[in-house]
Structure 1
């Protein structure tokens, strides 16, 4: 248990959600059932969490349903989460302890990806219990950032799939004040945490309720736009392509809101107005076209709005 689980090194928006789930075998079922039994034994729980997380990495199709339906498993995972709270302030969480809680969070992420269990964990309000991990401010401690990233992975899984439940999920996330926590992760998180947080914000802004949340009140709009702009400025060279794409997508969706578009005509980042910077930063043609479109939306409104 010296190393953090490999799941934490996987981009949850470009890899794990795109992997086709695999059908489970009888051996898979037996291993999952055995580990579920071990979860109920405190002395073996850490080992069981690690093994289940390895099974989760293989994307076994019905594993989330087995976990959700198993007696007391959700409660046990919640216990693991709650036990880490006391280690957050003051920040005394060790690498080993972070690994254990991240293994528990990864199993909740598995349930967040599955269509049969996604809304069940929302109705049980399980995501709220990960919010304290997203609110941490330790920016130079790797295992705290892995904790943030794994927590963001749960939210990313909830917003990734667009189905009939999506508006209800977005409403839940906004109602429980998830949005400021994503901004916090963009401010203090590592590159991958920033990317996943920006992805989540861009998905929330797809929906009218998300646009209203960010575009109706000036303080919310400026909080979002300032964090997005500051994130771009944090990279003296080229920002990561995926991160830049999600930031531009956020700006694009803000231009759909008249008051936000009006404000962006005055406060859109200078770097993203500079053709030389755009040429330098946007190696991917799709990202370049997105940058050009956002700038067009902003400048056309400034000139003719």
Structure 2
């Protein structure tokens, strides 16, 4: 499947909130400056800390060593996590003006995106079981722009873990920590950018065998995901500007959900061997048949004809979906 444009992973929130930027046209930094800025993150003078944080954020993609510097430097990651947890109490009420705390946490989230994108620090991030610090920001129930930026930043941390090639260990970890459930708020009430990043996460999980098994293992999970995707199709029809990336991801999710993987029959056989009740097996079968009974009609009735004409990969996903829904081969 086509990858999302890189802009969705970088400073995409600049279109939503006018965060202040660093001084105009500063000289390009060298590695000594990067090391000094990392060291300044421990400076007790707020202006020095904020200047270092903002400059590290601006130049985060230019120095491959930065994720390792952040992770290996003494207490830096702990300090960054402390800033994130400090903002939790302020995410349950409306924000009427920007303040330094929201900007600071936003920049820290961007630095964590570097950490989860780099293969070395990503593995250490998983080992430290740190994703749970970011899920509360994905679960924010309000849509104030500063809070929406925090949601986007947290989603970006998880999305960076799934940039191709997708590591199966990452998918296994995300399913274990219920990352799919933590994407639901973003899909239900988030901005278009939040929805796109959340569906990107779901899409990458579904495109692995373990992720697909997780999403289809029980009917409640399957139908919740199906309901979210149908909600997104309705949302797409209300938009004045087309969102081809979001549409492509949604259709790709449906194509994958319609596929009956080999492990499904294998797991049914395991259920029989383990003595589980026949009802448990029937529930799994009914969950897989649900897509045939309640198909995404809007993908079949011409509602998105113009988007499909402009997006051949999405049309291929749709044809695969139609073929799988109509076929009864392999049904039990």
TM-score, structure 2 length as denominator?
0.78
Partner of residue 181, structure 2: 180
* Unpaired runs of at least 5, structure 2: 1-5, 13-27, 265-284
> Following the alignment from structure 1 to structure 2, what is the Cα–Cα distance between the partners of residues 209 and 76?
34
Equivalent residue runs for 1:121-136 within 5 Å: 121-136=125-140
> Following the alignment from structure 1 to structure 2, what is the Cα–Cα distance between the partners of residues 98 and 295?
45
Matched, 1:295 2:322: yes
User: Residues 248 and 301 of structure 1: is their aligned pair in 2 closer, same or farther, counting only changes over 3 Å?
Assistant: farther
Q: 2:35 aligns with which of 33, 36, 43?
A: 33
SS class of match (2:162) = helix
Equivalent residue runs for 1:144-223 within 5 Å: 144-162=147-165, 166-223=167-224
Equivalent residue runs for 1:51-130 within 5 Å: 51-56=55-60, 58-92=61-95, 94-96=97-99, 97-130=101-134
> Following the alignment from structure 1 to structure 2, what is the Cα–Cα distance between the partners of residues 59 and 264?
45
> Following the alignment from structure 1 to structure 2, what is the Cα–Cα distance between the partners of residues 90 and 183?
20
Pairwise CA distance, 1:59: 3.2
> Following the alignment from structure 2 to structure 1, what is the Cα–Cα distance between the partners of residues 164 and 178?
21
Matched, 1:251 2:254: yes
Pairwise CA distance, 1:207: 2.1
1:265–1:301: 8 Å Cα contact kept in structure 2? no
2:212–2:257: 8 Å Cα contact kept in structure 1? yes
User: Residues 256 and 216 of structure 1: is their aligned pair in 2 closer, same or farther, counting only changes over 3 Å?
Assistant: same
> Following the alignment from structure 2 to structure 1, what is the Cα–Cα distance between the partners of residues 124 and 162?
14
Q: 1:137 aligns with which of 138, 141, 147?
A: 141
Partner of residue 277, structure 1: 303
Partner of residue 48, structure 1: 52
Matched, 1:10 2:7: yes
Pairwise CA distance, 1:261: 4.3
User: Residues 216 and 93 of structure 1: is their aligned pair in 2 closer, same or farther, counting only changes over 3 Å?
Assistant: farther
Pairwise CA distance, 1:152: 0.8
> Following the alignment from structure 1 to structure 2, what is the Cα–Cα distance between the partners of residues 191 and 185?
9
User: Residues 278 and 92 of structure 1: is their aligned pair in 2 closer, same or farther, counting only changes over 3 Å?
Assistant: closer
1:6-54 CA distance string (max 9 Å, x none): xxx93119x9xxxxxxxxxx95211111111211113232222111101
SS class of match (2:63) = coil
Partner of residue 286, structure 1: 313
> Following the alignment from structure 1 to structure 2, what is the Cα–Cα distance between the partners of residues 242 and 110?
23
1:84–1:93: 8 Å Cα contact kept in structure 2? no
* Unpaired runs of at least 5, structure 1: 1-8, 16-25
Q: Give the number of the structure whose alpha-carbon radius of gyration is greater.
A: 2
TM-score, structure 1 length as denominator?
0.85
SS class of match (1:235) = helix
User: Residues 237 and 289 of structure 1: is their aligned pair in 2 closer, same or farther, counting only changes over 3 Å?
Assistant: farther
